Amino acid sequence: MMTYSDGILLFESVIDNLKTDLENYARIPNAKLEYIKKQNSIIARLCTAYNALDCMKFSDIWAHIEFDIARLEKLDPVLSGHRIFLRTKPTGDQFSLIPYNPFE
């Protein structure tokens, strides 16, 4: 299974390869301007999507949490929720409570 971080690295690599390929194509004497514009537009949209994914820095952690949730609920089907203690800094003892009910 590919992690979020691995997926982001792959996405970045695909964008970089597309840019390099387009730059090389543009150097060809008979390169078609319409093709260059179309590919550049696609690359720009991919860059926008890539930049929007930056807010997902905890997604690898959430993948592990979701795995644990599924495992625990399989062991005890009566569970109706979970308390998750997620440390975002290595030290300190000030924590927030983020209640979330996807059914409301």
Token pair belonging to 38: 């179309």
For residue range 34-89, what is the model confidence (pLDDT) as tens digits?
Answer: 999 999 999 999 999 998 887 777 777 888 898 999 999 999 999 999 998 888 88
**Angle in degrees, 0-180, between the axes of helices 59-75 and 4-26, rounded to the nearest 10:** 140
pLDDT for res 14: 97
Q: CA 40 to CA 34: how far, in whole Å? A: 10
Token pair belonging to 101: 């009910």
- Give the closest residue to 6 by CA, choosing from 66, 59, 72, 69: 59
- Give the closest residue to 81 by CA, choosing from 54, 50, 52, 104: 104
Average pLDDT over every residue of 16-32: 96
Assess whether pLDDT exceeds 90 at residue 6.
no
Assess whether pLDDT exceeds 80 at residue 27.
yes
Predicted TM-score (pTM) of the model is 0.60
Q: CA 9 to CA 15: how far, in whole Å? A: 10
The 10 Å Cβ neighbour count of residue 50 is 14
Phi/psi for 93 (5° steps) reads -135, 30
